[in-house]
Structure 1
Amino acid sequence: MNNDREDFWEKQSFVVITDNTKPAMKYTIDELNERGKEVYVFDLSANPGKGDIKSVEDIPDNVENTVLGITTSNPADFVQALKNRGCSNFWIHWRTETPEIEEMEDPHIQIIKGKCPMMYLGKDFSIHGLHRSIAKLTGKY
């Protein structure tokens, strides 16, 4: 039986916002690409990759899901900007939550926080799969 966190990854289009401070963001991008998802990367670091999105305005309208793994900017600023562009599902990487994210309540959006994306995307025989198994056994999945 799927939960909201598992269902999040079933969508087809994603924007991943990173500043290269959370290594799991690269793995998330790679795994989504491997699964054939439509992935847009918005890299806030000093050295974004070629082809990466350079501003919120460059993100296509109605991208289904946004994954935020940033520590150099407030993710709440991006949630509001992307909500205005039609995105309603947000994943805030664990340990990147801010007070503004914690206080955010909006019946028109879903915010998943406090979890690493790779616990849900990682292969069974990997450190992420081991983490997933432990989380399931301890009721923290």
Structure 2
Amino acid sequence: MEKQPSAYESFFDLGSFGVVGRSKVKPFPLLSYRGLKAKGKKVYAIDPSSDSIDGDKAYPSLAALPEPVEGLIVEVPKAETKDWVAAAAEAGIRDVWVHMAHDTPEAVALAKEKGIHLRTGTCAVMYLAPTLSYHGIHKLIMKLTGKY
């Protein structure tokens, strides 16, 4: 019997993504951004505090994107997480990944209310990174403990 992908793994079956950060407060989530690009995905940097990320145009909001995206990775200060989940709902995005330890009970409740498939509790990079890395080791530990 073939193993079915987890909800975390299936997130990356989507074709287009937004990656949200606030680089003036903490480094932009470049590993997720670059990992998606390396997989050949269409990906947009969303950062209200910067015009450019990794040499690419950065957009201040989801509404400013040139086209809708299917998935959203959110790695902003925790106080902003609920607002980004709300923005995702308004934009019609149904698949959102909130970076490990950045979720809040309010953001989780809002996602449930709006019908968003929210992924929390782990790091997206763990699913994007090569195996010989810190994130690859994290991936191995999560697999061994049944949390992958």
The whole-number CA distance in structure 1 between the counterparts of 2:145 and 2:40 is: 31
Residue 106 (str. 1) matches residue 110 (str. 2): no
Q: Which residue of 1 aligns with 2:37?
A: 33
Residue 134 (str. 1) matches residue 141 (str. 2): yes
Q: What SS class does the counterpart of residue 45 from structure 2 fall into?
A: strand
Which structure 2 residue ranges, 5 or more long, are not aligned? none
How far apart are 1:99 and its partner, in Å? 2.8
Normalising by structure 2, report the TM-score.
0.84
Q: How does 1:25-64 map to 2 (within 5 A)?
A: 25-45=29-49, 47-49=50-52, 51-64=57-70
Q: What SS class does the counterpart of residue 7 from structure 1 fall into?
A: helix
Calculate the aligned-residue CA RMSD, in Å. 2.0
Normalising by structure 1, report the TM-score.
0.88
Seen in structure 2, the aligned counterparts of structure 1 residues 95 and 22 have a Cα distance that, compared at 3 Å, is farther
Q: Which residue of 1 aligns with 2:18?
A: 15
Seen in structure 2, the aligned counterparts of structure 1 residues 139 and 102 have a Cα distance that, compared at 3 Å, is same
Residue 124 (str. 1) matches residue 131 (str. 2): yes
Which structure 1 residue ranges, 5 or more long, are not aligned? none
Residue 94 (str. 1) matches residue 100 (str. 2): yes
Residue deviations 1:23-42 (CA, integer Å, cap 9, x gap): 58210001111111100111
Q: Which moved more, 1:112-121 or 1:101-110?
A: 101-110
| Runs of 4+ residues deviating >6 angstroms | none
Residue deviations 1:59-113 (CA, integer Å, cap 9, x gap): 2453100000001642111222222222111000011112311323236210111
One-letter identity of the residue aligned with 2:17: F
Q: Which residue of 2 aligns with 1:84?
A: 90
Contact 2:21 2:28 in 1 (8 A): no
Identity of aligned residues (%): 31
Which residue of 8, 22, 32 maps to 1:5? 8
